[in-house]
Copies of this chain bind each other. A is one copy, B any other.
């Protein structure tokens, strides 16, 4: 097998405990001895075995990161950032994909439990109740979800939706549509509430369409309904849905942004590369990944005590080419009574 602490001890002419101390509590060992041990260690290419170490310390220095779908363009930047940040702090991370299956999610958590110090759950599919129960045995941080007693990082899509509505109304749009996400999505619900309120405040009409599949297909399929409600500006659940919608509209002879303004959410590469380039609500996914790891490590250190922390990350509208001023005549006929809008604030 590989080189162990015993080999180093022998080579340095000290006892194993001294070698152990040199690595886990260097200040407790005489400088000279330390040098000698370190020299022997590098000479032999010794690396402490984390797994063995974990057996006595109870700290694996590993984290779990569980997402619904690695291939969904929303996740990779988050995974990348979480992994990089964890590494900086001396942790390795298991990345697992549940394929949107709650059953698999639970199984994953349980098999991972003994090998990690904590896990980050991104947009979990498990019920709050299940998560709470599992949370008793292992530190968790949830992303885009609120679970009693657990730290969470939330992305403020509500404010993003508000910005999107303002952007559209400032371009003169008065009839808006919101393409919601899948049933039960926390994000979708936040968007709906915020957009509805803001539209009302701005005196605009807003039709909510959904639930929709969070995919390109979801957008394409919704195109007829969008046209049906006579909206001139629409906010989609995410970039994929927005892109699908644009396609669906094109198939029906409506060009974006000339005939319709479309706003996405997420700011994925796909949207950035789309033509027209997508106006979208940028989600702070990388920051979310880092923050989640940060909170998790805090929770790990606190070992049960220490209150759960909630961090809300700001979103921001990125204006590109898929939105434009409403065409004259596209709004309710001049002179017709506007929908009464409650003044904001």
Q: Assess whether A284 is interfacial by the CB under 8 Å rule.
A: no
A112 to B79, CA, bound (A): 18
Is A52 engaged at the interface, CB distance under 8 Å to the other chain? Answer: yes
Binds B, one of A32-40, A89-97, A173-181, A333-341: A89-97
> Could you tell me which residues of chain A, from 261 to 275, have a CB within 8 Å of some CB in chain B?
269-270, 273-275
Contact digits for A107-129, partner B, Cβ 8 Å, 1 yes 0 no: 01011111100000000000000
* CB-defined contacts of A216 to chain B, threshold 8 Å: 273
Q: How far is the CA of A71 from the CA of B83 in the complex (A)?
A: 12
Q: Are B70 and A73 in contact (CB under 8 A)?
A: no
Asked if B95 and A83 sit within 8 Å, CB to CB, the answer is yes
Q: Residues of B contacting A49 with CB < 8 Å?
A: 114
A9–B94 CA distance with the chains assembled, in angstroms: 31
A287 within 8 A of partner (CB): no
Cβ of A135 < 8 Å from any Cβ of B? Answer: no
Question: Number of copies of this chain in the oligomer?
Answer: 2
Question: Contacts A71-B76, A79-B70, A274-B274 known; A93 to B95 CB distance under 8 Å?
Answer: yes
Range, interface on chain A: 35 or more
Indicate which residue in B80, B113, B269 contacts A73 across the interface (CB closer than 8 Å).
Answer: B269
Which of B54, B58, B92, B97 interacts with A80 by CB under 8 Å?
B97
Residues of B within 8 A of A80 (CB): 69-71, 97
Whole-angstrom distance between the Cβ of A75 and the nearest chain B Cβ: 8
Q: Looking across the interface, which residue of chain B has its beta carbon closest to that of A113?
A: B47
Q: Is A50 an interface residue (CB 8 A)?
A: yes
Task: For the complex, give the distance between the alpha carbons of A274 and B247 in Å.
Answer: 10
**Among the listed B77, B111, B270, which residue makes an inter-chain contact with A71, where contact means beta carbons less than 8 Å apart?**
B77
- In the complex, A275→B93 CA distance in Å? 37
A51–B115 touching, CB < 8 Å: yes
- Kindly list chain B residues whose C-beta atoms are within 8 Å of the C-beta of A93: 94-96
Which B residue's beta carbon lies closest to that of A54?
B51
A137 interface hit (Cβ, 8 Å): yes
Q: Is the CB of B92 within 8 A of A115?
A: yes
Interface centre among A99, A216, A275 (most CB of B within 10 A): A275
Is A243 in contact with chain B by the CB < 8 A criterion?
Answer: yes
Q: Could you tell me the distance in whole angstroms from the C-beta of A154 to the nearest C-beta in chain B?
A: 22
Task: Report if A183 contacts B (CB, 8 A).
Answer: no
Which 3 pairs show the lowest CB-CB distances between chains A and B? A95-B95, A70-B80, A275-B275
> Contacts A47-B110, A76-B76 given; 6 further ones with Cβ under 8 A?
A49-B114, A51-B54, A55-B55, A70-B79, A75-B76, A84-B99
15 CB contacts below 8 A, A to B, read: A1-B58, A47-B113, A50-B114, A51-B55, A52-B55, A55-B55, A70-B83, A83-B96, A93-B95, A93-B96, A94-B95, A95-B95, A270-B270, A273-B274, A274-B275
